[in-house]
Amino acid sequence: MKKQIIHVVIGGGAAGIFAAIRCKTLNPLAQVILLEKTNQLLAKVRISGGGRCNVTHACFDPVKLTQNYPRGSKELIGPFHHFQPKDTVSWFEERGVPLKTESDGRMFPTTDLSETVIHCLLQAASLAGVEIRKQQRVESIEKKEDRFLIQLENQQISADSVLLATGSSSWGHSIAKQLGHAIAEPVPSLFTFNIPTSPLLDLSGISVPKVIVTLKDVGFKQEGPLLLTHWGFSGPAILKLSAWAARKLYDLDYKATLLINWIASPNQEILYQSLLQRKQENPLQAIPPILPNNLLVRLCTSLHIDPTTPLAKLPNKALAQLAAKLYSDAYAIEGKTTYKQEFVTAGGVDLKSIDFRTMESKITPGFFFAGEILNIDGITGGFNFQNAWTTGWLAGTTMAKR
Ligand SMILES: Cc1cc2nc3c(=O)[nH]c(=O)nc-3n(C[C@H](O)[C@H](O)[C@H](O)COP(=O)(O)OP(=O)(O)OC[C@H]3O[C@@H](n4cnc5c(N)ncnc54)[C@H](O)[C@@H]3O)c2cc1C
């Protein structure tokens, strides 16, 4: 009698569950066992997107999509040609979960409930015949000839192939290391900036639709909406900046100078000239409402400018100072605050040791990786789940063919 093939997936998060479903669906004769150390599957899916689960992002061009990954963009080009957001949308829709797109491109289930996504994934796993074992903490993995011995508390499983999808857990990193993979040091990504000395803290809640934020002397720049908070600054522009500069800011102990170009002007001189032109054309009018009023008043007051003064009465020197402030306003970052809606770890298994056509390790054949355990992370907006779906799908596909 032919021996049954056993594939083991470790980790019951988005990547592990998606891979297990794909593997068992493609190869129903194989035994697919998913081991999860806790009592809860898909815990991060449940809390993600404020309980709504931002499943993916409406960006359907694989190359453009990769531009949203500070780490992993080059490696994901190939995988996204196999499984991208369009495929994610179809996958969920075929299983009765249509997704909708919000104005910023984020995609959510139409129910606005992460529970819908969880129910769909667990039902698909059950229908496919994935054997899910909860409260099964894997303690060690040993490679013996062409098999893997997986040690649980009271049991050992001998597997033909293993997928490690344990997210940002240090245990997963140490297992990968034992098997010969380098680990990029994990550091947080997607956080907001603490600016305790900011004179704008009491303006918390005001948002500006488009600013350019730059880390002075460090070389990172991002554009987008900015939110004033009671501890500093947040909003898409800041979160993107935190992701791209995650490692640098970690090295700087989260101390740096943030420059805000409040109206995303391409050039300080152009901004100054436009204020002068306005003064010439409308001498009796005050400074135009280029920013939310309370914020504009505060910025003007800091320069001893009364924003209600007719432009004709403001000396050109004052307008030059205002242009300088609007173009490059400096704030001292003195720490970070985790963004509760979505945070992620930058760092993990070194990408050079993975074959991105298959998600198989180049160092340990038969051993696979998917999801956040890899040194891949996206900016906020559904890109991190897309990485989990894509790499999980590819790993599951290859395991099934073994
Ligand atoms: C609050 C929050 C909100 C988020 N919101 C979004 C969002 O809206 N959109 C988005 O794209 N991304 C979001 N993210 C990021 C996204 O959740 C992760 O990138 C994604 O869940 C990673 O999936 P994963 O399967 O790789 O890892 P995980 O989801 O972390 O799953 C790993 C699993 O492995 C298990 N495990 C660990 N060690 C062992 C062991 N020894 N034995 C057995 N099992 C083990 C863990 O218990 C866990 O269940 C959010 C993250 C957070 C924290």
List the chain domain ranges: 6-187+345-401, 191-338
Largest CA distance in the chain: 96
Nearest atom within ligand 1 for CA of residue 370: 26
User: Tens digit of pLDDT for each residue in 296-335?
Assistant: 999 999 999 999 999 999 999 999 999 999 999 999 999 9
**Percent of all residues in the chain with a pLDDT value above 70, rounded to a whole number:** 100
Q: Does 340 score more than 80 pLDDT?
A: no
Nearest atom within ligand 1 for CA of residue 377: 19
Mean pLDDT of 38-47: 97
User: HSE (CB half, 13 Å, CA atoms) of 105?
Assistant: 14
Mean pLDDT of 232-260: 97
**Cα gap 41→17, rounded to integer Å:** 9
With a 6 A CB cut-off, is 169 part of the ligand 1 pocket? yes
Q: Whose CA is nearest to atom 2 of ligand 1?
A: 342
Which string of DSSP letters, residue by residue, matches 84-136? -HHHHHHHHHHTT--EEE-TTSEEEETT--HHHHHHHHHHHHHHHT-EEE-S-
At 321, list the tokens: 């100072």
With a 6 A CB cut-off, is 377 part of the ligand 1 pocket? no
SS3 373: helix
User: Tens digit of pLDDT for each residue in 197-238?
Assistant: 999 999 999 999 999 999 999 889 999 999 999 999 999 999
Q: Whose CA is nearest to atom 27 of ligand 1?
A: 167
With a 6 A CB cut-off, is 385 part of the ligand 1 pocket? yes
Closest CA to 360 of 79, 27, 48: 79
pTM of the model: 0.94
Mean pLDDT of 108-113: 98
Pocket perturbation via mutation, ligand 1, pick of 41, 48, 239 by most ligand atoms within 8 A of CB:
48
User: Tens digit of pLDDT for each residue in 133-182?
Assistant: 999 999 999 999 999 999 999 999 999 999 999 999 999 999 999 999 99
CATH architecture of 6-187+345-401: 3-Layer(bba) Sandwich (3.50)
Distance 337 CA to ligand 1 centre (A): 19
**Cα gap 166→374, rounded to integer Å:** 10
pLDDT of 320: 97
Pocket perturbation via mutation, ligand 1, pick of 385, 389, 390, 391 by most ligand atoms within 8 A of CB:
385
**Cα gap 258→255, rounded to integer Å:** 10
With a 6 A CB cut-off, is 338 part of the ligand 1 pocket? no
pLDDT of 201: 98
Q: Does 1 score more than 80 pLDDT?
A: no
